[in-house]
């Protein structure tokens, strides 16, 4: 079970959060990746006040382009359908709190290459939006306990390509991205319940990313209660040279 996390971690409008209905996106049923037509909602990304506007504006623009959040990407019914398929497998596992490099606490995980047709349609929609290249055949499912969290880390490309896309189920969470050499250059992303997030390029390889837990789980000075969170992750296939 730990090998999955090793390969993943090492190798590889705000209004809808507080009130109102989540934003909906048109469904795409093609199984082949295509050029994304939608951009994420910028209201779900916030630059830290420690990053002054006149400091590295090109880097700021690049990371905002490479970290995107799409609120309300799946419906309640689609979420229930995905969980109904995944729960029988996840419930057989125990949450782990002794990850090999202490990068993640309170997790269980699995990988799946086949889904029921109604759930495969959802994953096809993710791939059509997020990827322009082939994806890995196995979808990574990461179940983070309510008290769990992911410490800052940077992905490599040995076992995973440039893009990862995750559907957030069961709970909202806050992700912090921090420049690996200049910690003041940071931003937060609200990964809302039933949202899709897409990370690539600068956001993955020049910034660490972490899923905050406990009292640190805040968005614009307001707590984001953390419950158990299940992320369904599609990943780009690594380049042959990797």
CB 140 within 8 A of CB 109: yes
* Sign of the C-alpha dihedral computed for residues 201, 207, 211 and 217 taken in this order: negative
Separation CA 177–CA 180 (nearest Å): 9
- pLDDT digit string (tens) for the chain, length 242 residues: 444 544 444 444 343 444 444 444 444 444 444 434 468 999 999 999 999 999 999 999 999 999 999 999 999 999 999 999 999 999 999 999 876 556 789 999 999 999 999 999 999 999 999 999 999 999 999 999 999 999 999 877 777 899 999 999 999 999 999 999 999 999 999 999 999 999 999 999 999 999 999 999 999 999 999 999 999 999 999 887 65
What CA–CA distance (Å, rounded) separates 84 from 61?
39
CB 166 within 8 A of CB 231: yes
Q: Helical H runs in the chain?
A: 2-10, 15-18, 57-66, 76-90, 117-130, 201-205
Q: What is the pTM of this model?
A: 0.83
Domain 2-235 belongs to what topology? Jelly Rolls (2.60.120)
Residue 233 in contact with residue 12, Cβ under 8 Å? no
């Amino acid at each position: 079970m730990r090998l999955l996390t090793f390969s993943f971690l090492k190798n590889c409008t705000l209004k809808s959060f507080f009130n109102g209905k989540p934003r909906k996106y048109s469904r795409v049923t093609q199984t082949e990746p295509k050029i994304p037509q939608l951009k994420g909602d910028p209201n779900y990304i916030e630059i830290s006040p420690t990053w002054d506007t006149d400091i590295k504006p090109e880097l700021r623009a690049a990371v905002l382009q490479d970290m995107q959040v799409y609120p309300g990407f799946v419906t309640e019914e689609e979420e229930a359908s995905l969980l109904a398929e995944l729960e029988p497998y996840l419930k057989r596992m125990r949450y782990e709190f002794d990850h090999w490099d202490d990068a993640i606490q309170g997790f269980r995980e699995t990988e799946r290459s086949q889904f029921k047709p109604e759930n495969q349609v959802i994953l096809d929609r993710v791939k059509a939006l997020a990827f322009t290249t082939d994806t890995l055949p196995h979808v990574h499912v990461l179940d983070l306990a309510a008290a769990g969290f992911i410490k800052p880390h940077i992905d490599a490309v040995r076992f995973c390509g440039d893009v990862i896309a995750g559907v957030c189920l069961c709970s909202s969470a806050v992700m912090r991205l921090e420049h690996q050499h200049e910690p003041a250059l940071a931003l937060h992303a609200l990964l809302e319940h039933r949202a899709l997030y897409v990370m690539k390029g600068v956001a993955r390889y020049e910034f660490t990313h972490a899923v905050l837990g406990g009292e640190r789980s805040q968005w614009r000075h307001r707590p984001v209660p953390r419950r158990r969170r299940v992320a369904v992750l599609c990943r780009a296939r690594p380049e042959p040279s990797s």
